[in-house]
A and B are shown apart, each in its own frame.
Chain A
């Protein structure tokens, strides 16, 4: 299929999500961008348009069960096609394990694991019903493998996301739907704890934090036909953090 491709990116208003969105727009994608905050999405839409793409803004809460099908429908209604899905939205709350509340646990698991699951399902249903190939990239984290203190729900959700990525890849491999993950290390966003920024040169083998666009290039690669034999894997983009 020629023309511009179309992808859904969740959590597209800020940080890594905006970096992914902008990178994809520069490389020929139109985008359905979603977040709970309209003002953030306006900034991302402007960045997409500057990069020569079109963006459809969908203000939505990923914890709402209707959001997944709404996003897929939005792509088809506005652009007439859907090529890729990027599950990027995530929530982390730093709290000692014994002080974690039920409410926070639910919010984190719902956002980081349950929402990606049902979005994968909605996108794959569209592809399977129409006999189309598709590609999904789930944004995991170095924490799908290594541990940090005070973020048990977040780490659990990312471990779950990685396992889910593998199962979906296995199930959907025969259907021409590839499912992969990108697992970022510390990336410079407005959510980056100040201490990471201050100590990046000693914390990171590469000597610096990552930029959101450096996650974008990895997502672009995995969505593209360049990665035609790559499925069920995670690309660790961590500046070598996990080597220590």
Chain B
């Protein structure tokens, strides 16, 4: 069963690959018009051509402070100011041990994983309030907000921050009928872990922590995002839906 998103306009970041791509495809299948954002122009073009008519690609580098305003301004022009959904899926993970974690890696990670969702949310909320749109924002967090992995401290910190960005934004915008929620995925097969998947030993170690005994496909996370983006959970805001096959249970 699909959530009904007919006629809704949705911005999806990180739409060229992984969870972002699966989300763009899923929201489109549920009837939404998508505005797909990524810095990977080729990947973006491929997704948009798969999506077909009524969908748009927008190349942006989310590490730039100006990108939030640019993305939302372009989406406003495109949709005559009506934006109903924002999905912050773009993220990077840089593997460097904590003691050697470089300033460059730290800054880049926080710029993309935390500041971009903040800036985009700020712009989108302003638009929704102006237009009286009772919209929905969905952030992609991670189980690492609860149980850290090793060797990518900036990523883990940024995902912990997403939990509270979600809660504090939700609290402030609730009176406007705007909902802000997050999904916290466990192990999902994406480009972020393709190197580990090629190593059977490391990959089975990673899966050993998942009681369901398998990883998720990006589409399974996209299904949770589609639910949160829809009007179905109309009484749910500030929540994080853990989607981890049981990873965080012990």
Spell out B's residues near A (CB within 8 Å).
1, 167-168, 170-171, 174-175, 177, 185-186, 210-213, 216, 220-221, 223-224, 226-227, 232-239, 241-246, 248-250
Say yes or no: A229-B211 contact (C-beta < 8 A), given A217-B233, A235-B239, A240-B237.
Answer: no
What's the Cα separation between A242 and B170 when bound, in Å? 11
Q: Flag if A226 contacts B223 (CB, 8 Å).
A: yes
Q: Flag if A233 contacts B238 (CB, 8 Å).
A: no
What's the Cα separation between A217 and B227 when bound, in Å? 10
Q: Flag if A221 contacts B232 (CB, 8 Å).
A: yes
Mark A174-213 against chain B: 1 for CB-CB distance below 8 A, else 0: 1000000000110100000000000000001111001100
> Closest chain A residue to B221 by CB distance?
A229
**Stretch of A67-75, A106-114, A165-173 lying at the B interface:** A165-173
Say yes or no: A207-B175 contact (C-beta < 8 A), given A174-B213, A235-B239, A243-B167.
Answer: yes
Interface presence of A134 (CB below 8 A): no
Q: Flag if A166 contacts B249 (CB, 8 Å).
A: yes
Q: Flag if B246 contacts A169 (CB, 8 Å).
A: yes
Q: Flag if A237 contacts B186 (CB, 8 Å).
A: no
What's the Cα separation between A206 and B172 when bound, in Å? 10
Say yes or no: A173-B212 contact (C-beta < 8 A), given A166-B249, A218-B236.
Answer: yes
Say yes or no: A244-B171 contact (C-beta < 8 A), given A173-B213, A206-B235, A229-B220.
Answer: yes
The smallest beta-carbon distance between B6 and chain A, in angstroms, is 17
Q: Which A residues touch B221, using CB under 8 A? A: 229
Using A171-B211, A204-B174, A238-B236 as known contacts, list a sample of 13 further A-B pairs with CB atoms less than 8 Å apart, ordered by residue number in A.
A205-B171, A205-B237, A214-B233, A218-B233, A226-B1, A226-B223, A226-B224, A229-B220, A230-B241, A230-B242, A233-B242, A233-B244, A239-B237
Say yes or no: A239-B174 contact (C-beta < 8 A), given A170-B249, A173-B212, A229-B243.
Answer: yes
The smallest beta-carbon distance between B123 and chain A, in angstroms, is 22
Say yes or no: A205-B234 contact (C-beta < 8 A), given A221-B227, A226-B224.
Answer: no
Q: Which B residues touch A233, using CB under 8 A? A: 241-244
Q: Which A residues touch B186, using CB under 8 A? A: 229
> Closest chain B residue to A228 by CB distance?
B220
